[in-house]
């Protein structure tokens, strides 16, 4: 197992997040040597300036939090984020198209973003709280087909976050073809370790400091 801090994408994605909060986020990431910070694309240039002298990655969300924008818009946002200094992209799957069984459109949506960012890491957010087990399985299969690097559980803005059941389903489906990021509702050390023991490679949390310190947090994204 890696050091716990290296599983953490230190996250600030709320609509009301300010520049000062991003500055604080990046300082905290340096202090605790987290794997990355995860921010909305508008804050990627600021995060880049603050972190360019260290090895902490910058993750930008794309099509966030609904995933319901057109594919070209997602691809453009992803490319701009990379140009502005992002190392990784977390895009939201189009849940409505998935439930419509428009599977070719889903593969195109993910593939276009992956093509736009080249060899950079792409994580696809399923928003599992809205999906049946069969839909989670199908979404994972589509992510693999589209060459996603990670499957991620949640935005943190849906009706629920990461669950043990959803992560087990994702892991069983993707096997060695991709990695898993658990996010949404992970607020304490014990929960974080539960997910890591299931084979999760990354945790998207705003409670990273509390988790590292073995405390409970009431914050989420």
Q: Residue 95: phi, psi to the nearest 5?
A: -60, -40
Place of tokens 């050091």: 3
Q: Which of 114, 120, 152, 179 is catalytic?
A: 152
Q: Does residue 181 have an active-site annotation?
A: yes
For residue 212 the two structure tokens come to 């590292």
CA–CA distance, 142 with 110 (Å, rounded to integer): 9
Q: Which of 90, 109, 149, 220 is catalytic?
A: 90
Of residues 39, 32, 33, the one with CA closest to residue 59: 39
Q: Which of 74, 112, 181, 220 is catalytic?
A: 181
Q: Are 88 and 60 in contact (CB under 8 A)?
A: yes
7: CB partners within 8 A, 6+ apart: 35, 192, 196, 200, 201, 202, 203
52 part of the active site: no
Could you confirm whether 90 is annotated as catalytic?
Answer: yes
Q: Which two tokens stand for residue 217?
A: 């947090």
What are the residue numbers of the active site? 90, 152, 181
């Amino acid at each position: 197992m890696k050091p716990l801090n290296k599983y953490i994408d230190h996250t600030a994605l709320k609509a009301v997040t300010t520049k000062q909060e991003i500055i604080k986020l990046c300082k905290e990431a340096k202090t605790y040597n987290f794997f990355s910070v995860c921010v909305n694309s508008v804050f990627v240039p600021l995060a880049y300036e603050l972190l360019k002298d260290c090895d902490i990655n910058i993750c930008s969300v794309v099509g966030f939090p609904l995933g319901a924008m057109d594919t070209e818009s997602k691809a453009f946002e992803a490319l701009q984020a990379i140009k502005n200094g992002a190392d990784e992209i977390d895009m939201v799957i189009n849940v409505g198209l998935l439930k419509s069984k428009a599977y070719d459109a889903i593969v195109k949506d993910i593939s276009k973003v992956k093509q736009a960012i080249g060899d950079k890491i792409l994580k696809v957010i399923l928003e599992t709280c809205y999906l049946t087990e069969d839909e989670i399985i199908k979404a994972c299969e589509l992510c693999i087909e589209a060459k996603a690097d990670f499957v991620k559980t949640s935005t943190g803005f849906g009706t629920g976050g990461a669950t043990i059941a959803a992560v087990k389903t994702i892991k069983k489906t993707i096997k060695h073809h991709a990695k898993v990021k658990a996010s949404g509702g992970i607020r304490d050390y014990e929960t974080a370790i539960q997910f890591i023991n299931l084979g999760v490679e990354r945790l998207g949390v705003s409670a990273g400091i509390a988790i590292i310190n073995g405390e409970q947090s009431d914050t989420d994204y």
